[in-house]
C-alpha cells in the first residue's frame, strides 16, 4: 500500500510539473500580452482590480496589497456587497452559494471606484459561476480590459451558470490557464475521492509572475514601479502610505 511519503512525492511532481510549464510559458512570451496590459494600466495611473471567489480569492490576495506587489491594486470580493453595499451578512452564507448568483455581480461592481484606465484580473478555476462571469461582463461593458485566470480543462468540461451562457474565458481579453485538471485534485487512488488540489498553487505562481513581469516592463520603459515594502520592516508602513495617498479613495484595503 502506498505510504504518505509516496503520495507526497506524487503530489510534488504534479505541482512542479505545472510550475515548470508556467515558467516556460512566461519565458517564451506567453504572459506578455497580460503583462503589457497591466504595465500600461499602472503607467497610465490606473488601478488593477483583482477578483476571485472561494479559493480563487487567494489569487486576488496575491495580486493586491502584499509586500513586493504593486501598490495600485484592489482586491474585490463578494463581501464588499455587505461591507460597502446594502446586502445583509447572512446572504454570504446562504444556499446556493452566493458566488453562483449572477445578480450579485452588479452590486459588487457598484462598490468599485473605477477609472477608464483600470484593468480587471479575474480568477476562477471553473470560470462558469454567475458572479465571476457577471463581473467580467460588467467590466467589459464599461470599457475595461479583462485578464482571466482559469482552468481551461475544467471550464470546457462544465456548463456555464450565467444567463448569458458564457464562460469567463469567452469574455476576457487575455486568458491564462492555471493548468489545474478537471475537478482540481490531482491524486487518484489515495481514497475513493481524488485529493491534492493545485489551482491555488498555480494561480498564486501566475500572480507573482504577472507582478514580476509588470515591474520588469515598467522598469524597461524607465517608469516608476510603485511597489509595497513589508509594513513589518522599519519605515515600510509610512513609505507605503505615502505612495497610496497618490491614488486617494480609488485604493481600498479592507477585510
Q: Which residues, 6+ apart, have CB-to-CB distance to 173 below 8 Å?
A: 37, 145, 146, 147
Predicted confidence at residue 100, as pLDDT, reads: 87
Q: What is the CB-side half-sphere exposure of residue 8 using CA atoms within 13 A? A: 3
Other Cβ atoms less than 10 A from the Cβ of 27: the count is 10
Strands 73-76 and 48-52: parallel
The H or E element spanning position 105 is: helix 103-110
Per the CB < 8 A criterion, the answer to whether 216 and 34 are in contact is no
Predicted confidence at residue 85, as pLDDT, reads: 77
Predicted confidence at residue 255, as pLDDT, reads: 52
Q: What is the CB-side half-sphere exposure of residue 63 using CA atoms within 13 A? A: 32
Global pTM? 0.94
Q: SS3 for 227?
A: strand
Q: What is the maximum span of the chain, computed from C-alpha positions, in angstroms? A: 60
CA dist 54 and 124 (Å) reads 9
Can you list the domains of the chain with their CATH numbers? Answer: 4-250 (3.40.50.10490)
Predicted confidence at residue 72, as pLDDT, reads: 98
Query: What is the chain's length?
Result: 255
Question: Smallest Cα–Cα separation from 211: which of 227, 224, 197?
Answer: 227
Predicted confidence at residue 89, as pLDDT, reads: 59
Q: Among all chains, which residue has been given the C-alpha cell 522599519?
A: 234
CA dist 65 and 253 (Å) reads 7
Q: Which residues, 6+ apart, have CB-to-CB distance to 238 below 8 Å?
A: none
Task: Kindly report, residue by residue over 188-235, the tens digit of the pLDDT.
Answer: 989 999 999 999 999 999 999 999 999 999 999 999 999 999 999 999
Task: Kindly report, residue by residue over 71-87, the tens digit of the pLDDT.
Answer: 999 999 998 888 887 76
- β-bridge partners, 73: 48
Q: Within the chain, which residues score under 50 in pLDDT?
A: none
Amino acid at each position: 500500500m502506498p505510504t504518505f511519503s509516496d503520495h507526497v512525492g506524487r503530489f510534488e511532481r504534479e505541482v512542479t510539473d505545472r510550475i515548470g510549464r508556467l515558467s516556460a510559458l512566461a519565458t517564451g512570451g506567453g504572459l506578455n500580452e497580460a503583462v503589457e496590459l497591466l504595465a500600461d494600466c499602472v503607467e497610465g495611473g490606473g488601478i488593477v482590480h483583482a477578483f476571485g471567489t472561494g479559493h480563487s480569492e487567494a489569487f486576488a490576495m496575491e495580486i493586491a496589497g502584499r509586500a513586493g506587489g504593486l501598490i495600485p491594486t484592489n482586491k474585490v470580493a463578494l463581501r464588499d456587497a455587505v461591507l460597502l453595499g446594502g446586502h445583509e451578512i447572512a446572504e454570504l452564507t446562504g444556499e446556493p452559494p452566493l458566488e453562483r448568483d449572477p445578480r450579485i455581480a452588479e452590486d459588487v461592481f457598484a462598490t468599485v471606484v473605477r477609472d477608464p484606465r483600470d484593468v480587471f484580473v479575474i480568477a476562477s478555476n471553473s470560470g462558469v459561476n454567475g458572479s465571476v462571469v457577471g463581473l467580467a461582463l460588467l467590466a467589459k461593458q464599461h470599457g475595461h480590459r479583462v485578464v482571466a485566470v482559469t482552468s481551461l480543462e475544467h471550464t470546457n468540461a462544465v456548463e456555464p451558470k450565467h444567463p448569458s451562457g458564457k464562460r469567463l474565458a469567452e469574455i476576457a481579453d487575455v486568458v491564462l490557464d492555471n493548468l489545474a485538471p478537471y475537478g482540481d485534485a490531482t491524486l487518484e487512488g489515495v481514497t475513493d475521492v481524488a485529493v491534492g488540489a493545485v489551482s491555488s498553487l498555480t494561480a498564486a505562481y501566475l500572480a507573482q509572475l504577472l507582478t514580476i513581469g509588470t515591474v520588469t516592463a515598467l522598469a524597461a520603459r524607465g517608469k516608476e514601479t510603485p511597489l509595497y515594502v513589508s509594513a513589518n520592516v522599519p519605515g515600510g508602513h509610512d513609505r507605503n502610505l505615502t505612495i497610496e495617498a497618490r491614488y486617494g479613495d480609488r485604493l481600498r484595503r479592507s477585510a
